[in-house]
Chain A
Amino acid sequence: MSRSDLGTDPYDSVEDDRWIASASASRGEIDSLLQGAGYRVCSTDLRHVAIGLEQLESAMVGDQCVASSAEAIHYNPSDLTAWVDSMLSELAPDPHLPRHPHITATANTWADPTQQRPSLHGLENHHQHRSVPAVSLQSMDEEEDAAIRLVHLLVSCADYVQRGDSEMAGSLLGQTRLALARVNTGFGIGKVAGYFVDALCRRLYPPPLSAAGGGGSAANPEILHHHFYEACPYVKFAHFTANQAILEAFQGHDRVHVVDFNLMHGLQWPALIQALALRPGGPPLLRLTGVGPPSPDGRDALREVGLRLAELARSVQVRFAFRGVAATRLEHVRPWMFQVAPGEAVAVNTVLQLHRLLGDRASPEGGDAAAAEPIDTVLAWIVGLKPKIVTVVEQEADHNKPSFLDRFTEALFYYSTMFDSLEGGRAGGSHRGGHHHHHHQQQQQTVAEAYLQREMCNIVCCEGAARVERHEPLARWRDRLGRAGLRAVHLGSNAFKQASMLLTLFSGEGYCVEEADGCLTLGWHGRPLISASAWRADDDAALPCDHQTLLVLQDHSSSVTSGSNNVVDGDDHHLRQHSVVRNNDTGSGSSCSRV
């Protein structure tokens, strides 16, 4: 690596008396060296940032000032220009302070730029990411070799499955089962390999009357989810971070409406209801619309959850109304079902849901299909609701790659890390109670594993419409949400701090919260596993409101009413009626519509 290899110098625009951008550097060109260090600054902004840093330093003299700077909320530290500007406005809001390079009369210069050299090593922003787990290799060589061999067998087997060579695949499956016997199945790859072997088996030899969703127990998905919620912090982190963003977005609004794409047991909402109750200035009127699958056994599960939440709201004196929207698939939901009222602040909350609306990717390079996928339709009407905030939580993995082998390999490592954290986090978490508590935790972990196993099975065994676990990484979601007209609302250091603190309180030490370009991720042993982000509609991008959504809310003061709203069933246009139930005193109520 000699200096003669370096080629032309791209920095010849950064000379002190030529900070008016020279012809060779286009405006908006990012300094690639700083980019490698994790900061995005335009070369032409460097001087502005430098002056800002100097001013920040002068402003930060004294302990008190330092303390107050630490209390400031920071956003997206990669954007140095914005960071410096926001710190300055917090600490030195003097409008006369010259910050524009033109105005500063410094004769002093920065160093001779002929010493600068271009970077030989530019880190690509979107390098192909193939994750590898933090596999514990402290055990003996034999064990380590066995683990590596097991992975190799599994992946080879998946390769034959992809090629359609069921004979070779079947034979390898047999070898894999043998290899499994030699590996510690307590943690890491060994733990999860067994499930993947089963999944491959099922894909190779599908059971004759396989149910949709491919494998896993017949247990109630909400119960599985609840156990997963308890056994590890991922969903709690998601709820917590989303609620933070929703709370902030609802500030100043006295009528708010949360749309939850997957209500389940409504675990996310008690905390929000309580936070709204404690809001300075008093709680708003809160409407919650929860989407969920229709209950199989004639129960109205959505309504039951709604009633429980209404009860809680009543106890903390938050005016509350609930509506349930039952749909077998998200794409059957229509915006008018939410009955968004004019003047309401809307929050759309999608935790581990959006990926279900994705389809097959057109090409290995990940170009999106030309035809409109359900995701585009749904995103479009989300934007049409003109939400104040859209909270998106997704698995941080690419389980929607076109190649089965790629998906399989990614999933192997992703779930290996996930399972590892279930095991490791449990051991490290706060321990109360003795044997019974431990036993209970073990049970929870087992059921949580069953929850994950369902996802894994879906990824490995299903195709087409049946494959719903189409996880894609944050980078791809950013693009998609951006194209739909949503702009990121950066999650700040306050949300980060609270998430971190929550983690240290309740979980094992291997978890890590990270900030990535305004979004937060939670991971295990350095591997991000789940991401949380917040978005709002670009004012220009919001479509004109659909008149059908502008139904006026029914009068709260009536006691028991049986108003009926006609709803169209997504499948066969069957008209159904429903009733609206309310609690008498505070007007909290719940209603359900079926789709």
Chain B
Amino acid sequence: MAGSNEVNANECRMVVPLNTWVLISNFKLAYNMLRRPDGTFDRHLAEFLDRKVPANAAPVNGVASFDILIDRTNNLLARIYRPAPPNPSPATTPLADLHRSPSPDPFPVIIFFHGGSFAHSSPNTAIYDSLCRRFVSLCGAVVISVDYRRSPEYRYPCAYDDGWAALKWASTEPWLHGGKDAKLRVFLAGDSSGGNIAHHVAVRAAESGIEVSGNILLNPMFGGNHRTESEKRLDGKYFVTIQDRDWYWKAYLPEGADRDHPACNPFGPNGVNLEELPFTKSLVIVAGLDLVQDWQLAYADGLKNAGKDVKLIYREQATIGFYLLPNTDHFYDVMEEIKNFVTSNL
């Protein structure tokens, strides 16, 4: 219906800056071309279109990055971002400097899971490279961006397994243990599907006795079988449709599973009870124009009901991807919140 499409377009245009609109619309259209109705995914075209940047051991704006192989058997790569090594002398090797703690004082290690609805993007995708660099500058953190296996080629629980592998790896790296008590102060963070991964890895950590200092969930991807009010109200209005959400869940969840699978709906009918687990504290950021917000709010409620510490940030006029470009109040306010959350839980 041409009329309602126009209405959608108009509303959408009103709430985001022009360059943000161009960026996210471009993703939307490109992604539409990649998802096939039969559930397969045009991975080659996806990789071709994805804008990537190489790692750079030479500091840029005070941040250096390098790629690391965490698990040879799975080719599990991660990109590590860190504050520029202090006082590098001309004859020192990049490799040695990069593997030194950034500070003798406690510092946060943020294990970051990029978004992309489990199917898109990589750590070297430009938008995520930027975001991770931002986190380093913001918090003085070492950020580990995990190249987790994506769907539909790799379904649940591969992404969680890879996240878990990254956490375990971090816990064995001496240079990531900061402060006089040589402790790993690790935060799990992610946007969209990355937020979902952060939650599930945090559950595994709680079950296994690895202490996580905090979870940061940016527009996390959750869902369920029934259609919530926000989904119906916002379907197709701000870059995202119920149809594409359904496609991505179908591509990620096991064959035959529905959206009440605990991976998708952790506090739904098949959810795990967290009450007895030492599950970490969470910062959950919800965009008021994100159609899955009812699921995200339900998630925050679920944590509260299980007696877990959760701070909810609700940005009324924010759309998905507001954190990708530093051109709105949403961006700066939320970055400030993240910084406060990290520094106060160090």
Contact = CB atoms under 8 A, between A and B. Distances in A.
Contact of A115 (B5, B45, B47, B328): B328
B68 A134 contact: yes
B330 to A, nearest CB: 9
A134 B17 contact: no
Given A56-B29, A129-B58, A34 B19 contact: yes
Interface string B78-113: 010000000000011111101100000000000000
B9 to A, nearest CB: 6
Interface size class of A (residues with CB under 8 A): 35 or more
Contacts of B15: 111
B174 A127 contact: no
Contacts, number: 237
Contacts of B23: 34, 37, 39
Interface in B268-289: none
Contacts of A132: 55, 57, 66-67, 94-95, 98
A186 to B, nearest CB: 11
B165 to A, nearest CB: 9
Contact of B69 (A33, A137, A515): A137
B335 A134 contact: no
Given A37-B126, A47-B18, A137-B173, 20 more contacts: A11-B17, A34-B22, A34-B325, A36-B126, A36-B127, A36-B325, A38-B127, A41-B19, A57-B29, A58-B2, A58-B5, A60-B32, A70-B45, A77-B51, A111-B13, A120-B326, A135-B95, A152-B95, A409-B93, A526-B77
A134 B92 contact: no
A297 interface: no
Contacts of B68: 134-135, 137
B324 A37 contact: yes
B124 interface: yes
Interface size class of B (residues with CB under 8 A): 35 or more
A117 B322 CA distance: 13
B22 to A, nearest CB: 5
B29 A497 contact: no
Contact of B16 (A1, A36, A56, A111): A111
B137 A135 contact: no
A121 B45 contact: no
A36, A46, A78, A155 — which one has the most chain B CB atoms within 10 A of its CB? A36
Contact of A46 (B18, B47, B325): B18
A587 interface: no
24 contacts: A1-B138, A11-B327, A14-B18, A31-B19, A33-B326, A36-B126, A37-B130, A37-B324, A38-B51, A38-B126, A41-B19, A58-B5, A67-B36, A108-B10, A111-B16, A121-B134, A123-B126, A127-B58, A129-B56, A138-B71, A155-B91, A496-B47, A526-B77, A526-B147
A37 B325 contact: yes
B75 interface: yes
Contacts of A159: 91
Contacts of A58: 2, 5
Interface string B50-75: 01111111101100001111111001
Given A36-B126, A70-B33, A130-B94, A46 B22 contact: yes
A148 B22 contact: no
Interface string A506-550: 000110111100000000011110000000000000000000000
A282 B322 CA distance: 54
A213 B45 CA distance: 42
